[in-house]
Chain A
Amino acid sequence: MAQLLEYIKMALYSIKSNKGRSFLTMLGIIIGISSVITIVSIGSGLKADVMATDETKSVSVIVNKDATSYTNIITWDDLKAVKDNLGNKAIGVVSSGATMGTVTTRKGEFDASVTLTMPDEEKNPMQTSIIRGNYFTEDNVLNADSVCVIDKASALYLFGTPDVIGMELEATIEGVLQTIQIVGVRDSDEELMKANDEAMKMFGMEMPVFLEMPYTAAENWGSQIEDFSSLTIYLNGGDQANAATKSAIQTLSARHLGEGEELFVKQQEMNMAEAMGSVLDMVTAFVAFVAGISLVVGGIGVMNIMLVSVTERTREIGIRKALGAKTSSIIVQFLCESAIISGIGGVIGILIGAGLSGLISVLEIGGLSARLSPTAIVLTTCFSCGVGIVFGIYPARKAAKMSPIDALRQL
């Protein structure tokens, strides 16, 4: 093994004496490695961004349809018990439903999207805040009051002003005409509104009016809503998701003893961030694979140059063999050379890739951010040395198999 050091020295010496050519050989590897590093960095940067924007803010527990035939078994008291037991893990617990209706004003008739929910819906972290008035209260729920919270865009649309507290709406829901008093205005997400608006225009529809009402208001149009089949917990921080789910299921199970096993389960929802993350992973892997092809091309470049080098150095090989170099010595010498060339190329490529990633992050080109991935660095380093060795084997064997007399005879 002490010999190996000698072969490495020989290889370094030979690379040094052919600087220009060695660099050109490295170029393929440099380009390949730096593009793989840059792409993987951008990929993981994007993924981190996506993940950061969408941590888990709510979890839902549903009645297991496989365990019972009648699924509306979660009561108002159940909700309260769940909320009490959650303590500071949660900021709110709601069960909600939805229905459609129409709102009539002097301007005409508009579709309405009605969410039937509970006071805790105010705390929904995915929703905007209340900017006028107040959310409806528990009393409103208990009295089945005909009150609503309207969103700002709808208010502007219907009345031309967001100051609509105390105003009344004429609405037909489930065929029953009723008067609903506005108690609060929820801010509208401008971008979302714009996007919705455009989509609606494109399909020739008008945007519905968004109303949130106490779930008991359904009684006013003849629907009976007493119990629920699901509940949603608004979390006090994303890391509480599992604990909150567990606590809620325990509470509910304890309150519904004897009604069956595994009555309540966590709702399997497709997490947007996870979905986006896995799509990004796939795209990154694909593009990195394409960039990886350039590594293979680079490797072939190394092989090509090594073959030329073997031909050029036939005489040197002959001399070395005459002086006692074994087949293995020559193979190791040439393998060292190709591995070092591609290894150095790899290191330069990593530096360039890291530099590019940093530059992209700093300049925010195209809003991209890049995160240098240690895994990518380790993998590409191994890969570039591997490329050198794999593509060096053929030239090295060719060199080593030369007979010393044939090699010496060449001039």
Chain B
Amino acid sequence: MISIKDMHKIYNPGENEVRALDGVSLEIHEGEFVAIIGHSGSGKSTLMNMIGCLDTPTSGSYFLHGKDVSRMTDNELSDVRNQEIGFIFQGFNLIANLDAIGNVELPLIYRGIDRKTRRAAAKQALIKVGLEKRMTHKPSEMSGGQQQRVAVARAIAASPPVILADEPTGNLDSKSTKEIMQILEGLHKSGRTVIIITHDNEIAEQVKRVIYIRDGRIEQDYLNEEKQGE
């Protein structure tokens, strides 16, 4: 479902050019549970922006569900993000003056879903992450783990086929990390494609497939042995 071929992303073309992605080719199939790991500056964030349709590559192609995303306009990309991808960010990225349910509703608003259906879907998503009692709380009234669970609920509310998590546990304590990983695992089991971008090897170990990025290239792409057996 995700098919990237010879993708390059070059910042500041010319003298001081930075080759954030330098010929990346990658296939991720539906229902996979993938970790993209690498040190900071390795290009993993750029790759995540590309997969998440937040940015367009300098060259190369990217097919998502058979559609060529790399040549789309900004507005078309907005639609793709809205329908295909659920984002989870390291910094939670909740809107501060909206309560939990308001935040979860956002992608549904941009999809143009009516209020009633939207509310119901948002509630369902919050129940799935175990926050049914915190629906009307503002982000500032919740712990980091709870905020990230709201973010997960927001990512799944519109039922996108791909969940893209950028350092989802980077700001969390070990207990919350465990909770979030369990939820992501659950999403994977329910058939969604889950991609985690991380620099944390412990996280990578809990995932089936690991893609190791270094200097803008894929250095390793392997399956975790212990997970393979399951």
Contact = CB atoms under 8 A, between A and B. Distances in A.
Contact of A324 (B81, B94, B98, B114): B81
A2 B114 CA distance: 8
11 contacts: A2-B112, A3-B109, A13-B97, A17-B97, A319-B93, A321-B78, A324-B83, A324-B110, A327-B75, A329-B78, A408-B93
Interface in A319-352: 319-329
Contacts of B89: 408
A325 B112 contact: no
B75 A324 contact: no
Q: Could you say which of B79, B94, B107 has the most chain A C-beta atoms within 10 Å of its C-beta?
A: B107
A6 interface: yes
Contact of B107 (A324, A327, A328): A324
A327 B110 CA distance: 11
A326 B72 CA distance: 13
Nearest to B151: A319
Nearest to A324: B82
Interface in B124-162: 154
Q: Could you say which of B79, B96, B97 has the most chain A C-beta atoms within 10 Å of its C-beta?
A: B97
B62 interface: no
Interface of A: 2-3, 6, 13-14, 17, 315-316, 318-329, 403-405, 408, 411
Contacts of A328: 75
A245 B93 CA distance: 81
Given A13-B97, A326-B78, A405-B49, A411 B91 contact: yes
Contacts of B96: 316
Contacts of A323: 81-82, 87, 106-107, 110, 154
Contacts of A408: 54, 89, 93
A328 to B, nearest CB: 8
A327 to B, nearest CB: 6
Contacts of A315: 93
Given A321-B78, A322-B81, A404 B54 contact: yes
Given A323-B81, A323-B87, 17 more contacts: A17-B97, A319-B93, A320-B95, A321-B81, A322-B52, A322-B87, A323-B110, A324-B79, A324-B81, A324-B82, A324-B83, A325-B110, A326-B110, A327-B74, A403-B55, A404-B54, A408-B54
Top-10 shortest CB links A-B: A324-B82, A324-B110, A17-B97, A323-B107, A326-B78, A319-B93, A404-B54, A326-B75, A405-B54, A324-B81
A318 B89 CA distance: 12
Nearest to B91: A411
Contacts of A327: 74-75, 78
Interface of B: 49, 52, 54-55, 74-75, 78-79, 81-83, 87, 89, 91, 93-98, 106-107, 109-112, 114, 154
A316 B79 contact: no
Q: Could you say which of A322, A324, A328, A329 has the most chain B C-beta atoms within 10 Å of its C-beta?
A: A324
A333 to B, nearest CB: 10
Contact of B54 (A6, A14, A322, A411): A322
A316 B94 CA distance: 8
A328 B75 CA distance: 9
A323 B88 CA distance: 10
B95 A316 contact: yes
Contacts of B49: 405
A325 B75 CA distance: 8
Contacts of A318: 93
Contacts of A325: 78, 110
A17 B138 CA distance: 12
A328 B79 CA distance: 12
Contacts of A17: 97
B122 to A, nearest CB: 13
Given A324-B83, A408-B89, A6 B109 contact: yes
A289 to B, nearest CB: 39
Q: Could you say which of B83, B93, B94 has the most chain A C-beta atoms within 10 Å of its C-beta?
A: B93
Nearest to A330: B78
A13 B87 CA distance: 24
Contacts of B154: 323
Nearest to A411: B91
A327 B94 CA distance: 20
B206 to A, nearest CB: 25
Contacts of B75: 326-328
B87 to A, nearest CB: 5
